[in-house]
A and B are shown apart, each in its own frame.
Chain A
Amino acid sequence: AQTVTQSQPEMSVQEAETVTLSCTYDTSESDYYLFWYKQPPSRQMILVIRQEAYKQQNATENRFSVNFQKAAKSFSLKISDSQLGDAAMYFCAYVLGDSGAGSYQLTFGKGTKLSVIP
């Protein structure tokens, strides 16, 4: 079974600084996708960034970027120029590619609570 591990239950960052959230995963498959989701107190799960396992280039979305190390099964999220609105729970998630299992089910880590200090 696939597992996703987030080893940092809580992190904090000064406004305008950079922070990196860690995620490792365990899978024997080669076709999969990785995601970072943000969940603010409003509870809505919002997609931050997505990485296809077959792509070597790290995904970026504005101030958000990932460091995808496939051999090490590591997928960290870097937030640059942190803003107060970035404060939320961040979840790392994995899904098997559509050539695999019959369902497209996300497997989530336990999350990292990010606080942004003004």
Chain B
Amino acid sequence: DAGVTQSPTHLIKTRGQHVTLRCSPISGHKSVSWYQQVLGQGPQFIFQYYEKEERGRGNFPDRFSARQFPNYSSELNVNALLLGDSALYLCASSFGWAGMQFFGPGTRLTVL
């Protein structure tokens, strides 16, 4: 079975631009969570979605938004990019909202 997949693998944007990151969960998993990992730090929770509804949101500005589709895949959107948004963005899926989380390989975002 395929694991969690994320696209794109790498992305380079300039300040002020908008970016969309995509995540496909493991088949049968209904929850997707997003984490931001800045270089040298542990991942930080951004969002959790379960059954297409937002279950939780971390301490991130409104420039960050996400959604989950009927097939349980998810998008993370970031508007008005700042240099500080440069990070590895990790997606994790789980069967239930409180289940074991399995991570994807991440998207490396560089903001110039």
Interface set of A (CB-CB < 8 Å, partner B): 4, 37, 42-47, 50, 91, 93, 97-98, 101-111
Residues of A within 8 A of B108 (CB): 43
A-B contact number at CB 8 A: 66
Q: Tell me, in angstroms, the Cα distance from A109 to B94 when the chains sit together.
A: 21
Q: Tell me, in angstroms, the Cα distance from A104 to B101 when the chains sit together.
A: 9
Q: Which of A47, A50, A106 has the most CB of B within 10 A?
A: A106
Are B58 and A108 within 8 A (Cβ)?
no
Interface size class on chain B is 20 to 34
B41-64 CB contact bits vs A (8 Å, 1 = yes)?
A: 111110010000001111000000
- Inter-chain pairs besides A45-B92, A106-B33, 4 sampled, C-beta below 8 Å: A44-B104, A45-B43, A47-B102, A104-B98
Are B55 and A102 within 8 A (Cβ)?
yes
Are B103 and A45 within 8 A (Cβ)?
yes
Are B58 and A105 within 8 A (Cβ)?
yes
Question: Which residue of chain B lies nearest to A109 when distances are taken between CB atoms in the complex?
Answer: B42
Are B40 and A110 within 8 A (Cβ)?
yes
Q: Tell me, in angstroms, the Cα distance from A25 to B43 when the chains sit together.
A: 16
